[in-house]
Amino acid sequence: MLQKPRGTRDFLPEEMEQRREIEWRMRKCARGWGYREVCTPTFESQELYTIRSGEGIINEMYTFEDKGGRKLALRPEGTAAVLRMYVNEGKVLSKPIRWCYLSDCYRYERPQKGRYRQFWQFGAEQIGADTPAGEAEIILLANDLLKASGVTFDLHVGHLAPMKHILRDLADGDKKAVMALLDKHNFEGLKNYLDSINASGLYESLEKLAGCRTIEEAIEICGDFPGMERMAELISVLDSQKLEYKLDLGIVRGLDYYTGMVFEGFANNLGAENQIIGGGSYRLAHLFGGEDVASCGFGIGFDRVMVSLGEFEPERSPVVSVVYTPDVKGRAFEVAAEFRKAGINTELNLLERGMGAQMKHAARTSEYVAVIGNREAEAGTVTLKNLESGEQKEYSLDEAVAEVK
245 is in an annotated binding site: no
Domain boundary at 262, 284, 309, which? 309
Which domain does 351 fall in, by range? 319-404
267 and 346 in a common domain: no
Long-range contacts of 6-13 (CB under 8 A, 24+ apart): 6/111, 6/117, 7/111, 7/116, 7/117, 7/118, 8/116, 8/117, 8/118, 9/116, 9/118
> How many domains in the chain?
2
Domain boundary at 309, 334, 357, which? 309
Compute the average pLDDT of residues 314-328.
Answer: 93
77 is in an annotated binding site: yes
Residue 236, Cβ neighbours under 10 Å: how many? Answer: 12
328 and 300 in a common domain: no
304 is in an annotated binding site: no
269 and 133 in a common domain: yes
Question: Within a domain: residue 240?
Answer: no
372 and 280 in a common domain: no
What distance in Å separates the CA atoms of residue 52 and residue 124, rounded to the nearest whole number? 19
pTM given for the model: 0.91
Residue 107's domain is classified under what CATH number? 3.30.930.10
99 and 56 in a common domain: yes
Question: Within a domain: residue 336?
Answer: yes
Residue 255 has pLDDT above 70, yes or no: no
358 is in an annotated binding site: no
Tell me the Ramachandran region of residue 7: left when phi exceeds 0, alpha when psi lies from -120 to 50, beta otherwise. Answer: left
60 is in an annotated binding site: no
Question: Within a domain: residue 205?
Answer: no
Question: Within a domain: residue 265?
Answer: yes
121 is in an annotated binding site: yes
Residue 328's domain is classified under what CATH number? 3.40.50.800
35 is in an annotated binding site: no
- Return mean pLDDT, the chain: 94
Q: Residues 384-396: pLDDT tens digits?
A: 999 999 999 999 9
Residue 52, Cβ neighbours under 10 Å: how many? Answer: 18
365 and 339 in a common domain: yes
399 and 263 in a common domain: no
138 and 30 in a common domain: yes
Question: Within a domain: residue 195?
Answer: no
pLDDT for 254: 62
107 is in an annotated binding site: yes
353 is in an annotated binding site: no
* pLDDT band (50, 70, 90) for residue 313: confident
Vertex 145: Cα angle to 114 and 162 (nearest 5)? 85
